Amino acid sequence: MSITIKSPAEQDAMRVAGRLTAEVLDMIGPYIQPGVTTDELDRICHDYIVDVQHAIPAPLNYRGFPRSICTSVNHVVCHGIPGDRKLRPGDIVNVDITVIKDGFHGDSSRMFFVGKGTIQGERVVRVCREALWLGIEQAGPGKRLGDIGHAIQQYVEAQGFSVVREYCGHGIGRVFHEDPQVLHYGEPGTGLELREGLTFTIEPMVNVGKRHVRLLPDGWTVVTRDHSLSAQWEHTVLITKDGCEVLTLGAEERR
Ligand code: MF3
Ligand code: CO
Ligand code: CO
């Protein structure tokens, strides 16, 4: 696979896909309450994407994934499959949305607290979100992918948490996962040099305990080996002439 540079028209299509993705996350937030099942969240998002947005939920049947969104609760790192488990007060849950509109993908995820958060839950969610934004601040023409990874790793480890290595951000466009791979650790000044028209995700996964993960027998669900809490935040970004544009900003982040 190779790296694609998006034309101005393709950049506009990515803006639309990114906005729709953010709107799904804005929409689902109020439903994340004690007692709701992740299957119910999946159904609400599916119907909104298909019936309201006239778009396609990219995860559904992607390499056999059985649902339209990923829901990753507590020690689940990523790619959690929605099911009949009811959310409980104190849970932290990542909802990961990927929407296809007019052939282009938008990909974003956020963390939500079910009821009131625990101290540890609030801390890992905050550190992960700050790490994503430190990575975004590094994204601009002439910078390198290693600058992004380094900024994230440096901050997370200084807070006493760890960065998952097995999964990474990715180029995105007509293809859900395309080159380049965007690692959330690394050395400054190394890796691909960024240029205008590149679109990719940054999506750090941060564990309270050790960085190691395990894949469950369902072939999708990734959990922390030590069962410690894990958080993830994801945005899709476009490299512009003088920096980057975050294509998946939520209503709250736009203000
Ligand atoms: N949205 C995830 C990502 O950020 C990928 C999910 S793949 C799925 O790259 F099949 F699990 F949906
Ligand atoms: Co992604
Ligand atoms: Co995603």
pLDDT, one tens digit per residue, over 64-118 is 999 999 999 999 999 999 999 999 999 999 999 999 999 999 999 999 999 999 9
- Residue 171 contacts residue 179 (beta carbons within 8 Å): yes
User: Over the chain, what is the mean pLDDT?
Assistant: 98
Taking only the tens place, the pLDDT of each residue in 154-170 is 999 999 999 999 999 99
Could you tell me if residue 146 is inside a domain? yes
C-alpha torsion sign, points 35, 39, 40, 42: positive
Q: What is the number of domains present in the chain?
A: 1
Pocket test of ligand 1: the residue of 38, 72, 77, 98 to mutate, having most ligand atoms within 8 Å of its CB, is: 98
Closest approach atom of ligand 1 to CA 98 = 1
Model's pTM, two decimal places?
0.98
Residues whose beta carbon lies within 6 Å of some atom of ligand 1 = 59, 62-63, 65, 70, 79, 96, 98, 107, 201, 203, 220, 234
Pocket test of ligand 1: the residue of 42, 78, 97 to mutate, having most ligand atoms within 8 Å of its CB, is: 78
- Residue labelled with tokens 């935040």: 233
Angle at 113 between CA 153 and CA 19, to 5 degrees: 75
Could you tell me if residue 3 is inside a domain? no
**CATH number of the CATH domain containing 230:** 3.90.230.10
Could you tell me if residue 70 is inside a domain? yes
Could you tell me if residue 38 is inside a domain? yes
Could you tell me if residue 188 is inside a domain? yes
Could you tell me if residue 1 is inside a domain? no
Could you tell me if residue 12 is inside a domain? yes
Distance 108 CA to ligand 1 centre (A): 10
- Going from the C-alpha of 99 to that of each of 23, 44, 131, 182, 245, the distances in angstroms are 10, 14, 24, 20, 18
* Confidence check: pLDDT of 1 > 70: no
Could you tell me if residue 228 is inside a domain? yes
Q: Tell me the residue range of the domain where 220 lies.
A: 8-249
The pair of structure tokens assigned to 98 is 């990927």
